[in-house]
């Protein structure tokens, strides 16, 4: 069974610091990786996706993928109180017609002013 593991947290960081969120996955055939941000009581919002090994940067966010270690991470630089939310990692398997994502349970991030 495909599994996506995340530390549930809460992860507390001071304002202005770097927040590091980690995710491991069990299916070595996984192809695409996504990070969603979910505020309390709201629906998930896609903030980053990555398909190739290495780093991908978008503003204050950097996604890092290491397929050999089956590990994907999200770095948030200059963390702000508005970044306080639950971050969901999602993984898509390789294969034609395979459109399903497998989600982790999420890591709750708290940025302390």
Partner 1 sequence: DGGITQSPKYLFRKEGQNVTLSCEQNLNHDAMYWYRQDPGQGLRLIYYSQIVNDFQKGDIAEGYSVSREKKESFPLTVTSAQKNPTAFYLCASSIASASYNEQFFGPGTRLTVL
Nearer to partner 1, 50 or 76 (CB): 50
The span from the CA of 73 to the CA of 21, in Å, is 5
The least distance separating partner 1 from the CB of residue 108, rounded to whole angstroms, comes to 9
Nearer to partner 1, 99 or 113 (CB): 99
Which helix (H) or strand (E) element contains residue 63? Answer: strand 61-66
Nearer to partner 1, 48 or 111 (CB): 48
Question: Which residues face 22 on adjacent strands?
Answer: 73
Separation in Å, CA 80 to CA 22, 90, 104: 19, 23, 23
The least distance separating partner 1 from the CB of residue 76, rounded to whole angstroms, comes to 20
Triad 15, 16, 22: Cα angle to 5°: 85
The span from the CA of 41 to the CA of 108, in Å, is 13
Nearer to partner 1, 1 or 113 (CB): 1
The least distance separating partner 1 from the CB of residue 69, rounded to whole angstroms, comes to 21
Residues in the site for partner 1, rule: CB under 8 A? 4, 8, 31-32, 34, 36, 42-46, 49, 51, 88, 90, 92, 95-101, 103-106
């Amino acid at each position: 069974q495909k599994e996506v593991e995340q530390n549930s947290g809460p992860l507390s960081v001071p304002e202005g610091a770097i927040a590091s969120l980690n995710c491991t996955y069990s299916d070595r055939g996984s192809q695409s990786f996504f990070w969603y941000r979910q505020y309390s009581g709201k629906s998930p919002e896609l903030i980053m996706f990555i398909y190739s090994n290495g780093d991908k940067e978008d503003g204050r966010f950097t996604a890092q993928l290491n397929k050999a270690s089956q590990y994907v991470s999200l770095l948030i630089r200059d963390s702000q109180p508005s970044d306080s939310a639950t971050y969901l990692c999602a993984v898509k398997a390789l294969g034609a017609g395979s459109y399903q994502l497998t989600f982790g349970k999420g890591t709750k991030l708290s940025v302390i002013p």
